[in-house]
Amino acid sequence: MVLEIFLVQSWIFPYSMEAVGRTLRGKGLLFLSSPFSNEAVELLARVGVAAWKVASGEINSRGMLERMARTKLPVILSTGMSGMAEIEAAVESVRSRNLPLAILQCTTAYPCPPERVGLNLMAEFRERFRCLTGLSDHSG
């Protein structure tokens, strides 16, 4: 199976984002995006993302997480650059709204050597937070 992935920058005009969303949905793909501002959250909610992917550097952006939560869409948290206390706070923020949650182990080294990928943390996250886990892979 071949999966096409579209990377979209936040500077693309709203009508372009709408076209990307329509194209992805037309191909049976989910439209996901990582917003980096409150304005981007509002735009992406309007054009119909299926879920929020919270980038590693935004996990502490409480105002933005709150805006995402108001949409009642699932949240995928990327954990690179975050300590366990920060991850716990973000998880609590999402859980307080009873939203579907997934946590991605991410090591912010580009490229990440295999011995630093941290696959063991996926099991720890799954056990600690009782949610889906995955890997945001930068190893290659």
How open is the CA angle 28-95-65, to the nearest 5 degrees?
70
Residue 19 lies inside a defined structural domain of this protein: no
**Total structural domains in the chain?**
1
Residue 17 lies inside a defined structural domain of this protein: no
Residue 83 lies inside a defined structural domain of this protein: yes
Residue 55 lies inside a defined structural domain of this protein: yes
Q: Which pLDDT does position 12 carry in this prediction?
A: 54
Q: Which pLDDT does position 2 carry in this prediction?
A: 40
pLDDT digit string, tens, across residues 9-39: 445 555 688 888 888 889 999 999 899 999 9
Cβ neighbours around 83 below 10 Å, total = 9
User: Do 33 and 44 form a contact (C-beta atoms < 8 A)?
Assistant: yes
- Find the mean pLDDT for residues 122-135: 95
Q: Which CATH number goes with the domain that contains 105?
A: 3.20.20.70
pLDDT digit string, tens, across residues 81-122: 899 999 999 999 999 999 999 999 988 878 877 888 888 999
Residue 3 lies inside a defined structural domain of this protein: no
DSSP for the chain, written as a single string: ---------TTS-HHHHHHHHHHHHHTT---EE---SHHHHHHHHHHT-SEEEE-GGGTT-HHHHHHHHHTT--EEEE-TT--HHHHHHHHHHHHTTT--EEEEEE---SSPPGGGS-THHHHHHHHHH-SEEEEE----
Domain range for 96: 29-136
pLDDT digit string, tens, across residues 50-68: 999 999 899 999 999 999 9
Q: Inform me whether the pLDDT recorded for 137 exceeds 50.
A: yes
Strand partners, 135: 105
Residue 18 lies inside a defined structural domain of this protein: no
Confidence of residue 1 (pLDDT cuts 50, 70, 90): very low
Residue 2 lies inside a defined structural domain of this protein: no
Residue 51 lies inside a defined structural domain of this protein: yes
